[in-house]
Structure 1
């Protein structure tokens, strides 16, 4: 079996490369290190590309821009993958506002180029798309929310569409919301991936991730919250809590659990289906709570400051109800709890610092 992974030097892409290499598949990666262009030297993923090339016996790498339709078409025609994991993206709210054409061309245009190449050359391939919970815009902020000492949370007695006691479901509307420019480009890609499944019959699946994280994340201030926070804590460097007094809540899911979910879908795909993907209520914590967890593990803290103005479209509280995916794929097991995730990331940050 042959797997094509876009964004292969990023967090999710590199985890996919390792996962499928380990189970004996040929893996072809696409990554032109545009993250370094987007975020500067700290976002550079060359180290991760080189790590994969040294570690993974069945991995080959292509320095290709997914905005190049002809190049994408030629690569898919040549590789003829059985499975595509499309993780390449411009992932930042803030950067999208200053570079809207780059954002849309990568997120929406690149996705369409890859979908059409698959339709033309490998229509039976499984196509997994890494979407985002930002497709819901700021609609999560309209859900009943309460403020507690160290976090915001959903009101325990809330009875509204799109929310259960376990978190946010796929029933939450995308409409009537402020999405951010980034969120809008991902909506376009998300819907197009669904449509290639529903309209053309391709075996596509959409996964709306929240905070996907792990020790191989090149976290920066504009993207990769937990990775960047861990790095700044270990270095005892500056960290700004942007909006909501640092009480905003996210659920963390380890990149390995993300890829195992993709593999579960790939073995029994449901064309055009969309799933929320996150760590769930048990893996949810606020920014302030994460600082304390990191300090407990390494005795270090960042130099905190606070900016009262939240990012446009940012969520006050978000954690994921995975019931739909678990019902469709009952064999999938989430192996990493929040404590284990933080331990791994602290260990990795300390090793890089040393």
Structure 2
């Protein structure tokens, strides 16, 4: 099977790409190489005969047509997106252009290719999205996001992803495009760009800097190890029902404060400070605008229909993640000088 992966030099996209190549699939990586992309993320497969790279921006429709014609994929896995909520608050335009217009271009390029090929039944367009499109949940363990939850996005990022989800569904209803969708919870793990919470905490801790926690740290997220997510995405792409959406969660709810303290405890064990704990560096800072209180996914559909469950607990995953960052200093140091990394973003509202 030949899979076209957009955003394959990013965090989740590279995990999908590495796993797909390891399983013997031919993979085409389409990536614009914006600030959060890094070809080192796919270095281990770069010389594989199963891997090809196209330096193409999904906002460039003619270039996408060339890619489809050249590579003739059996499947599209669309992961390319601007994804950092704080950046979306400061500069929403990039999110509109990439997440909405870019998805439109991908759908149209894929539709042309699929139609010209005679509309093969085996073709799939898999759109990868987020649980943030559903808005915010109350702090009640019995209330979870399902695939039927009404959309209620609260940030420019989640609104742009909600828009892209609606476009994908519309192309299925209007044009008969064979699509599947997934909405995931918060990912973490190796190759996570150093502006998100988990890598920020690890790298600030090692540097002796403050560990900033928004508000009181009570905001809750469901944490999904990225390699588990990649496994679920490939499963949905291959076996998911056309027109169906699947929520993918880690079944690991933690408050931000609990998560940060867990990371500190692992670092205390792996690389102890001369005195005290890394938790001594925790600092509470002003909350970001519109900060959703809780995300939590009901994974019943993907479990019952496709037999998938996460294999890694949050404790295991965080330990593996810390170990990876400790062993890959050259990777993250090379990214720390990129625009916006290490700065407090999302405060312009």
Match of 1:321 in 2: 298
Task: Within 5 Å, give how 1:26-37 maps onto structure 2.
Answer: 26-34=26-34, 36=35
Match of 1:170 in 2: 147
User: 1:198 and 1:192 mapped to 2: Cα distance?
Assistant: 10
Pick closer, same or farther for the CA change 1:51–1:32 going to 2, 3 Å: farther
Which string of whole-angstrom CA distances, capped at 9 and with x for unpartnered residues, describes residues 163-215 of structure 1? 2xxx32223221xx452111111111011112222332222111112212211
Stretches of structure 1 lacking an aligned partner (at least 5 in a row): 37-42, 146-153
Which string of whole-angstrom CA distances, capped at 9 and with x for unpartnered residues, describes residues 98-117 of structure 1? 32222111001111111111
User: 1:117 and 1:193 mapped to 2: Cα distance?
Assistant: 13
Q: Is 1:251 aligned with 2:244?
A: no
What is the number of equivalent residue pairs in this alignment? 315
Q: Is 1:2 aligned with 2:2?
A: yes
Pick closer, same or farther for the CA change 1:327–1:201 going to 2, 3 Å: farther
Task: Within 5 Å, give how 1:82-97 maps onto structure 2.
Answer: 82-97=74-89
Stretches of structure 2 lacking an aligned partner (at least 5 in a row): 269-276, 331-349
Give 1:82 deviation, angstroms.
0.9
Asked if 2 retains the 8 angstrom alpha-carbon contact of 1:213 and 1:226, the reply is yes
User: 2:238 and 2:130 mapped to 1: Cα distance?
Assistant: 22
Asked if 1 retains the 8 angstrom alpha-carbon contact of 2:16 and 2:233, the reply is no
User: 1:269 and 1:82 mapped to 2: Cα distance?
Assistant: 15
Pick closer, same or farther for the CA change 1:57–1:233 going to 2, 3 Å: farther
User: 2:240 and 2:18 mapped to 1: Cα distance?
Assistant: 22
Give 1:75 deviation, angstroms.
0.8
User: 1:290 and 1:57 mapped to 2: Cα distance?
Assistant: 40
Q: Is 1:348 aligned with 2:324?
A: yes
After superposition, the CA RMSD in angstroms is: 2.0
Where 2:175 maps in the other structure, the secondary structure is coil
Task: Within 5 Å, give how 1:94-243 maps onto structure 2.
Answer: 94-122=86-114, 123-124=119-120, 125-138=123-136, 140=137, 143=138, 145=139, 154=140, 163=143, 167-174=144-151, 177=152, 179-220=154-195, 224-243=196-215
Normalised to the residue count of structure 1, the TM-score between the two structures is: 0.83
Give 1:294 deviation, angstroms.
1.7
Normalised to the residue count of structure 2, the TM-score between the two structures is: 0.84
Where 1:318 maps in the other structure, the secondary structure is coil
Asked if 2 retains the 8 angstrom alpha-carbon contact of 1:201 and 1:271, the reply is no
